[in-house]
């Protein structure tokens, strides 16, 4: 199977490139290297240094004729009070439309689209959820930031092209993904915690450390995408753990792992009350025959080993880190 990975130099994209190649697929990567590096791309993959807004993209698709396109191109989140909405829309809407047009003209069989996850629901009123407290794919998103607004708009463009051109689509809404290695390019707070504590520096926590979110280790995300090659037709799925953890729990786990007593520096950005966003992943089990396998303690251990280049002692069992690791959500 020939697979095009848009954004293959980034965190998730580079892992997918390696996994698809290891599985025996023919893979090529398209990336402008604004968010990733050339060395992150597996040498076995063909590489096109190209922006997704470039008109040359259609020529590449015509030449390569991929069976599947995995769209994982995203701008790095800035976490600033005023984000660049024009740039965000230019990349994530105009760029996506160029990808979709290229798919249609090259008669691509399937598009896998990486959307937002937790952050799509931050502005929602969640009082009417089920007793489980989990958010399923039927809950109407309420995006608050440009990146999430364009993700949601992108989902509808993907569905439109699927109807108009017979393109099979699979939209994946990710929980917060951790397991990054490069601290200077990382988005997940755990990566910064590990890097700073290893240097005996004081890490900072922006905003509340009590907000509960769904977090998933990169290896589980990769397995979901491998399943998505063969399964999932015109679906929207949560790729998540259905478990809730706070940033405070990540910091405590990182501190315990590195035997550090350094307290974090809190930088307040909001007076909003702590809330919980935990994503139901049962539809992914039904459609993809996938479920997460890596617990939070194991995930943090693996993240530390890869990032710091050394083996770490085992963390406590899940109940001492973040409560029961069963399907029921953990609210702290």
Rounded Cα distance between 28 and 108, Å, is: 14
Q: Which fold has domain 2-175+217-239?
A: Rossmann fold (3.40.50)
Given a cut of 90, whether residue 213 has pLDDT beyond it is yes
Q: What is the pLDDT of residues 103-144, one digit of tens each?
A: 999 999 999 999 999 999 987 765 545 556 799 999 999 998
Element (H, E) at 57: helix 57-64
Compute the 3-state secondary structure of the chain and give helix, strand, coil in percent, each to the nearest 5.
Answer: 40, 15, 45
Q: Which CATH architecture has domain 178-213+242-278+294-322?
A: Alpha-Beta Complex (3.90)
Give me the pLDDT at residue 318, please.
40
DSSP code string of 153-187 = HHHHHHHHHHHHH--EEEEEEE-EEE----GGG--
Give me the pLDDT at residue 8, please.
96
Given a cut of 60, whether residue 328 has pLDDT beyond it is no
Q: How confident is the model at residue 273 (pLDDT cuts 50, 70, 90)?
A: low
Give me the pLDDT at residue 183, please.
80
Q: Percentage of residues in the chain with pLDDT exceeding 70?
A: 86
Highest mean pLDDT among 67-81, 256-270, 291-305: 291-305
270 CB-near residues (< 8 Å, 6+ apart): 207, 208
User: What 3-state class would DSSP assign to 324?
Assistant: coil
In this structure, are residues 232 and 279 in contact, taking their beta carbons and an 8 Å threshold? no
Give me the pLDDT at residue 132, please.
62
Domain with CATH 3.40.50.720 in the chain: 2-175+217-239
Give me the pLDDT at residue 76, please.
64
Element (H, E) at 95: helix 95-105
* Closest CA relative to residue 284, chosen from 226, 237, 233, 231: 237
In this structure, are residues 119 and 77 in contact, taking their beta carbons and an 8 Å threshold? no
Q: What is the mean pLDDT of residues 178-182?
A: 92
Give me the pLDDT at residue 307, please.
94
Q: How confident is the model at residue 83 (pLDDT cuts 50, 70, 90)?
A: low
Give me the pLDDT at residue 63, please.
98
Name beta bridge partners: 31: 49
- Residue for token digits 């963390």? 315
Rounded Cα distance between 322 and 56, Å, is: 48
Q: For 44-48, 74-78, 114-118, which range has the lowest pLDDT when averaged over its residues?
A: 74-78
Domain with CATH 3.90.25.10 in the chain: 178-213+242-278+294-322
Q: What is the pLDDT of residues 26-44, one digit of tens each?
A: 999 999 998 889 999 999 9
């Amino acid at each position: 199977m020939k697979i095009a990975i848009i954004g293959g130099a980034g965190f998730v994209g580079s892992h997918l490139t390696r996994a698809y190649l290891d599985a025996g697929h023919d893979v090529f990567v398209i990336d402008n290297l604004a968010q990733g590096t050339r060395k992150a791309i597996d040498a076995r993959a063909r590489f096109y240094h190209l922006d997704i807004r470039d008109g040359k993209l259609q020529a590449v698709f015509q030449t390569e004729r991929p069976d599947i396109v995995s769209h994982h191109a995203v701008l790095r989140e800035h976490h600033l009070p005023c984000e660049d909405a024009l740039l965000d829309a230019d990349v994530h809407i105009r760029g996506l439309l160029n990808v979709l047009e290229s798919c249609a003209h090259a008669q691509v069989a399937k598009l896998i689209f990486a959307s937002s996850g937790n952050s799509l629901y931050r502005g929602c009123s969640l009082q009417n959820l089920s007793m489980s407290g989990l958010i399923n794919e039927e809950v109407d998103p309420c995006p608050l930031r440009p990146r999430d607004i364009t993700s949601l708009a992108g989902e509808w463009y993907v569905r439109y092209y699927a109807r108009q051109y017979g393109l099979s689509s699979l939209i994946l809404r990710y929980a917060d993904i951790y397991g990054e290695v490069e601290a200077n390019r990382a988005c997940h707070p755990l990566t910064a915690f590990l890097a700073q504590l290893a240097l005996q520096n004081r890490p900072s926590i922006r905003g509340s450390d009590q907000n509960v979110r769904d977090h998933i280790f990169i290896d589980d995300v990769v397995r979901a995408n491998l399943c998505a090659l063969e399964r999932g037709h015109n679906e929207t799925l949560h790729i998540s753990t259905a478990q809730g953890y706070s940033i405070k729990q990540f910091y405590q786990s990182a501190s315990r792992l590195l035997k550090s007593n350094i307290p974090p520096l809190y930088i307040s950005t909001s007076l909003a009350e702590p809330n919980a966003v935990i994503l139901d992943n049962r539809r992914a089990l039904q459609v993809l025959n996938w479920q997460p396998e890596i617990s939070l303690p194991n995930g943090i251990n693996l993240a530390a080993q890869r990032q710091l280049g050394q083996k770490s002692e085992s963390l406590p069992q899940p109940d001492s880190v973040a409560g029961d690791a069963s399907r029921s959500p953990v609210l702290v």
